[in-house]
Amino acid sequence: MQLDFQTREITVKLVYYGPALSGKTTNLQAIHHLASPEARGRLMTLETRDDRTLFFDLLPLTFKQGALQVRIKLFTVPGQVMHAATRRLVLQGADGVAFIADSQRAETRANAAAFADLRKNLEENALDITSLPLVIQFNKRDLPDVRTDAELEQLAKLGKEPVFKAVATRGIGVAETFLGLFDLTWAKLEREHGFAAKFGIDATTLHGDIARQLGVGSPGSGSTPPEARR
Amino acid sequence: MTEVPVTRPELGDVSRLDDIIDRDALGEVCRSFFELFGLPIRVISADGNMLANAHADREICGYVNGTLGGRTSCQQTVSAVRRLIPDDEAGTIHACFTGAVYRAVPIRYQGRTLGRFIVGPYLPAETREVPRSLLLVDQRIDATRAREALEEMPRVKVETAERIAAHLRGMLDLILFSGHKAHLTTEMHLLSVRESYRELAEKNSELQRAYDQLQELDRLKSNFLATVSHELRTPLTSILGYSEMLTAGLTGPLTAEQMDFIGTIHNKGELLLKLISSLLDLGKLEQGHLALQIDTLDPVLLLKDLRETVAPVAQKKGIVVEVVAPESPLPPFRADPLRLRQVLGNILDNAIKFTPRGGTVTLAVRPTTLDAGEDGDGFGRALLAVPRTSLEFRVSDTGMGIPEREHEKIFQAFYQVDGTSTREHGGTGLGLSIVKRLVDAHGGHIRIESAPGRGTTFFVTIPEAE
């Protein structure tokens, strides 16, 4: 998190992590597509010729809250194993992490390996996984031979993080995952920095604002913000 | 509540226009805009740096600057325009006393204002008269002359000016985006390389530490080997000495059975002594402590002498040991006679051990030359090879042979081709590793020609000591 008193900006950094080809970039593309023009910046992708992420993707989002600007920077990491150094660099100073997993059964090992990699890189960046806002998204729900909803619910109960289901290519579950991560992150930042008291930013208003700009119904009109579990 | 942390530049963050913009490219874009629309363009960063300035001196400007009042007013206008902070996306208008206007438009990127661009001066399309403010600025200003000069200034409608500004803003946005992208790519390249380097350096130092530890362990092992062998030898010498004294009858006559028992004690003691000596040799060789005692020797005599030594064992097994000497007599040869004897003796012992009853073991020697650097890959041999007078010793047997895949391994310490052979034939598995090291110590080399069932030949080439 960065706070600039001069320009009255709060910048929050959220990182999309996960195994290669799990749909991290697709998540950002979907958010870019959903977000209103005044909220979204250009989606920057630093990719190789075969469309694989080389360094990262970056989507800046900006939400005005009175005199204050809340800037959210969404990053993806390159999933391919060889880009370990880049993943570690992108993870530096992350305020929250969305882990994008591939729902296909065949990808179970790759998911687990990427999560172990996340743990290691968090450690190397002196980030504590027990206090870092983290959500898990099971993407590619539309593919054959994926884990069933019942299985995912069972798995979600085992873990501590909120679990979301998504089909990022069709934009399904993408905004929910993002909002879920943002709420957890904001709740933690609020606890640490007291934005409500300092700048009069109300978490519910901010959530509603972001949801509206992403084209998601405001709280009470269908989609409710996921409860922060920790 | 904790203190707000000190902020530092974040990955992907842009706070200064200068960081991500290519000034030359920006200058070219502004100049082509100026040429296309005839409107001067200036780009100024948030901290006041002029990053691009595309304009041409207007006749009216030259005219008013020729007067004292005009010059003063012009300077005031220009500095006011440069300090102008626009508060509107479409731009803020600043009027000049000549009736012309400047339009300042903010440059925003990722929700931040990084600077502004200024379009103008141009005349609003509806301007008809020479404004009073121009005539009042200095009494030397002539209305007709001023009108003529103003005629040449571009006239722009408000909507057109807004469109042009929006167009330029869009272009700048693209330039910023691609500049930012290039900037980030470079930054990430550097950071990734640095991070990978850090990781490698860390791994390297870990490996170095492990290597140092291993070396230390190796040194300890050799020391241990040397010390233990030495300590074992001392009491063993006493055992052998006293059993010899008993056999010699120094304590009175012994019965046949007692003699037999003491003989066994003595034989086993000798075996143990050989083993310990081998260990000691290996230890010394590993540490590189073995010094050769160079002397002259007669190679054929050495072979004949070796044949005499093994004759009793060979006879018992019904094996013929032949010595093949070259036709012309060999001159005396300089080497370590004791160690060379140890090398050939060891190979000969093995040959007899592994040759079945009725077989033949041949000892041969011939003069040859050995090139220094013969073990290399062959490049530069013409430069490196210094032929040295050498002797090639050959020990052939008609035994079981050694499979080719084992040819390298048999020179490793404690290695035996067939684990069962230790029980059948005895030995420690140290012999050939010591042989190899002794040959190396002479600067020579050893090789095998063998195939299962077709016997084995060891070739030992020793260069003459200088």
Which of A71, A92, A192 lies nearest to residue B111, judging by beta carbons? A71
A-B contacts at Cβ under 8 angstroms? 75
Confidence band for B84, pLDDT divided at 50, 70 and 90: confident
Confidence band for B43, pLDDT divided at 50, 70 and 90: very high
Which of A2, A44, A88 lies nearest to residue B181, judging by beta carbons? A44
pLDDT of residue A117: 92
Q: Which of these, B334, B279, B325, B283, lies nearest to B306 by C-alpha position? A: B325
Confidence band for B429, pLDDT divided at 50, 70 and 90: low
Calculate mean pLDDT across residues A165-180: 96
A194 assigned to some structural domain: yes
Query: Which residues of B are less than 8 Å from A56 in CB distance?
Result: 12, 188
pLDDT of residue B90: 79
Calculate mean pLDDT across residues B414-438: 64
A52 touches chain B (CB under 8 A): no
CA B273 and chain centroid, separation: 47
Calculate mean pLDDT across residues B328-336: 89
pLDDT of residue B363: 92
Question: Terminus-to-terminus CA distance in chain A, angstroms?
Answer: 19
Minimal CA separation from B52 to chain A, in Å: 24
Q: ipTM score here?
A: 0.70
A214 assigned to some structural domain: yes
A35 assigned to some structural domain: yes
Q: Provide the number of structural domains found in chain A.
A: 1
Of A215-219, B352-356, B393-397, B408-412, which has the strongest mean pLDDT?
Answer: B393-397
Shortest CA distance from B181: residue in chain A: A44
Q: Which of these, A22, A78, A28, lies nearest to A52 by C-alpha position? A: A78
A229 assigned to some structural domain: no
3-state class (DSSP) for residue B113: strand
Query: In this structure, what CATH number is given to the domain that contains residue A180?
Result: 3.40.50.300
Q: Which residue has the higher pLDDT, A6 or B177?
A: B177
Give dist(CA B432, CA B348) in Å, integer.
11
Q: Which residue has the higher pLDDT, A228 or B351?
A: B351
pLDDT at B373 over 70: no
Query: Which has the minimum average pLDDT: A45-59, A172-186, B241-255, B347-361?
Result: A45-59
- Interface residue of B2, B3, B6, B10 to substitute, partner A, most A CBs within 10 Å: B10
Calculate mean pLDDT across residues B329-346: 89
Rg of chain A's alpha carbons, rounded to an integer?
A: 17
pLDDT of residue A84: 85
Query: Which residues of A are less than 8 Å from B4 in CB distance?
Result: 3, 193
Angle at B12 between CA A93 and CA B20, to 5 degrees: 150
**How confident is the model over B261-298, as pLDDT tens digits?**
998 898 888 878 877 877 777 777 766 667 788 899 99
To which residue do tokens 């003459």 refer?
Answer: B464
**How confident is the model over A5-54, as pLDDT tens digits?**
887 889 999 999 999 999 999 999 999 999 999 899 889 888 766 767 77
- Interface residue of B3, B6, B8, B13 to substitute, partner A, most A CBs within 10 Å: B13
Give dist(CA B236, CA B242) in Å, integer.
10
pLDDT at B12 over 80: no
Domain of residue A193, residue span: 2-223
Rg of chain B's alpha carbons, rounded to an integer?
A: 50
A230 assigned to some structural domain: no
**How confident is the model over B201-255, as pLDDT tens digits?**
999 999 999 999 998 888 887 777 777 777 888 888 899 999 999 988 888 888 9
Instruction: Collect all residues from B whose CB is shorter than 8 A from any CB in A.
Output: 1-2, 4-5, 7-8, 10-13, 109-112, 177, 180-181, 184-185, 188, 191-192, 195-196, 199
DSSP label of B16: -
A87 touches chain B (CB under 8 A): no
pLDDT at A221 over 50: no
pLDDT over 70 percentage in chain B: 89
Q: Which of these, B73, B37, B72, lies nearest to B55 by C-alpha position? A: B37
pLDDT of residue B452: 82
Which of A56, A69, A89 lies nearest to residue B195, judging by beta carbons? A89
pLDDT of residue B382: 58
Minimal CA separation from B1 to chain A, in Å: 5
pLDDT at A163 over 90: yes
Q: Which residue has the higher pLDDT, B136 or B210?
A: B210
Confidence band for A230, pLDDT divided at 50, 70 and 90: very low
Give dist(CA B246, CA B122) in Å, integer.
129
Residues 200-219 on A with a CB inside 8 Å of B are none
Query: Which residues of A are less than 8 Å from B11 in CB distance?
Result: 75, 89-90, 92-93
Inter-chain CB proximity B191 and A192 less than 8 Å: no
Calculate mean pLDDT across residues B392-400: 91
Q: Distances in Å between the alpha carbon of B254 and those of B186, B245, B261?
A: 95, 11, 11
A228 assigned to some structural domain: no
pLDDT of residue B287: 67
Inter-chain CB proximity A4 and B2 less than 8 Å: no
Average pLDDT score over chain B: 84
Confidence band for B413, pLDDT divided at 50, 70 and 90: low
pLDDT at A227 over 60: no
**How confident is the model over A91-123, as pLDDT tens digits?**
999 999 999 999 999 998 899 999 999 999 999
Q: In this structure, how many other beta carbons lie within 10 angstroms of the beta carbon of residue B189?
A: 14
Inter-chain CB proximity B192 and A192 less than 8 Å: no
Query: Which residues of A are less than 8 Å from B110 in CB distance?
Result: 41, 60, 62, 71
pLDDT of residue B98: 87
Minimal CA separation from B396 to chain A, in Å: 55
Shortest CA distance from B183: residue in chain A: A46
Query: Which residues of A are less than 8 Å from B191 in CB distance?
Result: 89
Inter-chain CB proximity A73 and B180 less than 8 Å: no
A58 assigned to some structural domain: yes
* Contact yes or no for A147/A138 (Cβ under 8 A): yes
Q: In this structure, how many other beta carbons lie within 10 angstroms of the beta carbon of residue B250?
A: 9
Strand locations in B224-337 (E): 295-297, 320-324, 333-335
